[in-house]
Amino acid sequence: MSIASILQEVFGYASFRGPQQDIINHVVAGGDALVLMPTGGGKSLCYQIPAIARQRAGLGITVVVSPLIALMHDQVGALHEAGVSAAFLNSTLSSEEAYQTEQRLLRGEITLLYAAPERVTTPRFLAQLDTLFERGQLSLFAIDEAHCVSQWGHDFRPEYRALTVLHERYAGVPRMALTATADALTRADIVERLQLEAAAHFVSSFDRPNIRYTIVEKKDASTQLLRFIEREHPGEAGVVYCQSRKRVEEVAAMLAQAGIHALPYHAGLDFRVRQANQNQFLRAEGVVMVATIAFGMGIDKPDVRFVAHLDMPKNIEGYYQETGRAGRDGMAADAWMCYGLQDVVNQRRMIDESPAEEDFKQVMRGKLDALLGLAEATDCRRVRLLRYFGEIYGEATADAPGRPKPGTAPSGGSAAHEMASVGAICHNCDNCLQPPEVWDATDAARKLLSTVYRLQQSSGVSFGAGHTMDIVRGKRTEKVLQRGHETVSTFGLGADYSESQLRAVMRQLIAVGALQVFTSEGFSTLHLTEASRAVLRGEVPVRLRESTHQRPEKRSRSRTVPTPAAASLGQDAMVRFINLKSWRSEVAKAHNLPAYVIFHDATLAAIAERAPQSLADLQHISGLGSRKLEAYGEAVLAVITGASPVLAAAQPA
């Protein structure tokens, strides 16, 4: 059976997306592969279809290595719904359940087995793999979230290092590594650590055209967030990322107070509470999860309509992976971040105070600077994001040859990349939709830098951002007077600038490396760098975006990308859609699975639109494979024709 017919028959999709077909063909034929695809790009099918094809060809089982224990149940459930035999082995199973699964494994009854890396490398499990291998029944290893093997990635897991055993012990069994993290260092590390030197590399375009990027200046973060949700996403599912556990709790409480169905998630919560909140987010509609970065890896909920960052992440990789959780269904979604000077200072401090080696810290600082550059940018955010991953916006498509190969694309972009995308616009980021006003901040920048210089010269000590700005603005604070800093020659020279303007200048100077922040014992101080000199001499103009809050907030609602599935339904179709949704939620509850595992909204909307009268009318609706047609076809028809006891089913038993 061809891979195209598996796609149609099992998953109900008419065509492959991007490079899926090439990848699947390569792996079905027994090749190793490194697959780099953005979140939502469709990585799962890249190993699920080869697993099915190779199992049908008599080659045995596929082992999927995944760190996401909490999600294995739903992943396996989704495969069951599609009629694929799958199972998982992890610490949530009782020993009896695990034993049963092992027996099924050895009897060859499983097509895909999901297991955590620490499980895969136990002697007990390896002994079972040995048996399968000897029988020629070990078909494929798929190593998901492969960036976990790299300390440069943001989810380093030492257990991943031990996976080299698979290669050494089971020579000839194809292996594929998949990740959504794409920077050059991480890629190179994956190849080296997992010994994938001979693997074919498949690098997709990292663009997510349906995600709108917006970065605003932080004033009163909570209020800004609340307004954003109320105005743009009332009643919709979203994720809000915060830096600390305490802040997660505060923000979740604030949103709940405002009537939004918000739940907290962080590593400090009891495991059961975390699990329950995650389940609600996956299963109920319109839940806003307020979380630390502990939340989200592998969350494959397709209809997350926004991801908001209330604090700045550590680097662009993290930002891109987190924002990538929005809009997996391809419908319009928002990535919204709010950031300020304090974020910069905090992130610097975390790096400075970490016990890591100096060269590691240096890499981390470089990554932070790239993110600052993105935040301060006055040009297209998407162009910059993609350039960071070595991609030229508008040029690279998933199918085009000549994409930069992993390991060769410099993160941050080469000069040629810089040139190639200058002036490009995407029509779906804040800067493209409403180009920011720009002001010449060269004078303000020089005054700030020379104040830092003079303070250092006269007292031999360095001071922080607040104090430096007070001097430039001529404020006679207690600290200024105590230290006699009203006599510094730059005192009051910048009295015309507002505090928020100077803050913006300060952020920008840090972003371009013309100022450095050092922290020790909880105090942050400013220091000049090599790059300061050119700015001080007036050789480098400093152009800044006008503070966003000073402009009237207008926002174009016209989207060039598809709006959520049901938005365009007529009245009758909308009634059918709502009935289908309530039917779906009954089924999902009965199967203990998230609703989207039964059918995506887009599939229900397509059914509602078509108003099918017979099983034949249901064929070729996207997302409706043959197993689901068989299992649910009649029930769906009954809902559409009004014969279904939807309401009766909704009554408590």
426 binds Zn ion (CB under 5 A): yes
302 binds ligand ADP (CB under 6 A): yes
Binding mask 39-78 for ligand ADP (x = CB under 6 A): xxxxxxx---------------------------------
Residue closer to ligand ADP by CB (options 39, 101) is 39
240 binds Zn ion (CB under 5 A): no
Give the CA distances from residue 491 to residues 212, 484, 639, in Å, rounded to whole numbers and listed in that order: 42, 11, 75
Residue closer to ligand ADP by CB (options 39, 579) is 39
Residue closer to Zn ion by CB (options 377, 607) is 377
432 binds Zn ion (CB under 5 A): yes
Beta-strand pair 438-440/543-545? antiparallel
Name which of Zn ion, ligand ADP, none residue 32 binds, using a CB cut-off of 5 to 8 Å depending on partner kind.
Answer: none
CA-nearest of 42, 64, 73, 45 to 594 is 73
- The nearest distance, CB 45 to ligand ADP, in angstroms, is 5
Token digits for 475? Answer: 């404020």
Question: CB-based contacts of 629: which residues, under 8 Å, 6+ apart?
Answer: 12, 615, 618, 619
Among 37, 140, 251, 312, binds ligand ADP (CB under 6 A): 37
- The nearest distance, CB 561 to Zn ion, in angstroms, is 13
Packing angle, helices 571-591 and 601-610, rounded to 10? 140
Rounded Cα distance between 622 and 604, Å, is 10
Binding mask 6-35 for ligand ADP (x = CB under 6 A): -------x--xx--x---------------
Residue closer to ligand ADP by CB (options 78, 120) is 78
User: Number of residues in contact with ligand ADP, rule: CB under 6 A?
Assistant: 15
392 binds Zn ion (CB under 5 A): no
Residue closer to Zn ion by CB (options 326, 380) is 380
Beta strands in 333-413 (DSSP E): 333-339
Rounded Cα distance between 449 and 403, Å, is 42
Residue closer to Zn ion by CB (options 368, 426) is 426
- The nearest distance, CB 42 to ligand ADP, in angstroms, is 3
507 binds ligand ADP (CB under 6 A): no
Name which of ligand ADP, Zn ion, none residue 426 binds, using a CB cut-off of 5 to 8 Å depending on partner kind.
Answer: Zn ion
Token digits for 91? Answer: 């610490």
Rounded Cα distance between 568 and 506, Å, is 46
Residue 124, H or E segment: helix 123-134
Instruction: Give me the amino acid identity at 494.
Output: G
204 binds ligand ADP (CB under 6 A): no
Name which of ligand ADP, Zn ion, none residue 44 binds, using a CB cut-off of 5 to 8 Å depending on partner kind.
Answer: ligand ADP
Rounded Cα distance between 451 and 475, Å, is 14
372 binds ligand ADP (CB under 6 A): no
- Indicate if the alpha-carbon torsion angle 532, 534, 538, 544 is positive or negative: negative
Instruction: Name residues contacting ligand ADP, limited to 305-334 (CB under 6 A).
Output: 328
Residue closer to ligand ADP by CB (options 64, 472) is 64
Residue closer to ligand ADP by CB (options 457, 622) is 622
Beta-strand pair 138-143/61-65? parallel
Name which of ligand ADP, Zn ion, none residue 300 binds, using a CB cut-off of 5 to 8 Å depending on partner kind.
Answer: ligand ADP
382 binds Zn ion (CB under 5 A): yes
Whether the CB-CB separation of 34 and 406 falls below 8 Å is answered with: yes
SS3 string of 194-249? CCCCCCEEEECCCCCCCEEEEEEECCCHHHHHHHHHHHHCCCCCEEEECCCHHHHH
Helices H / strands E in the chain, number of each = 29, 17
Q: Which residue has the tokens 């895909």?
A: 112
Binding site for ligand ADP (CB under 6 A): 13, 16-17, 20, 37, 39-45, 300, 302, 328
Binding site for Zn ion (CB under 5 A): 380, 382, 426, 429, 432
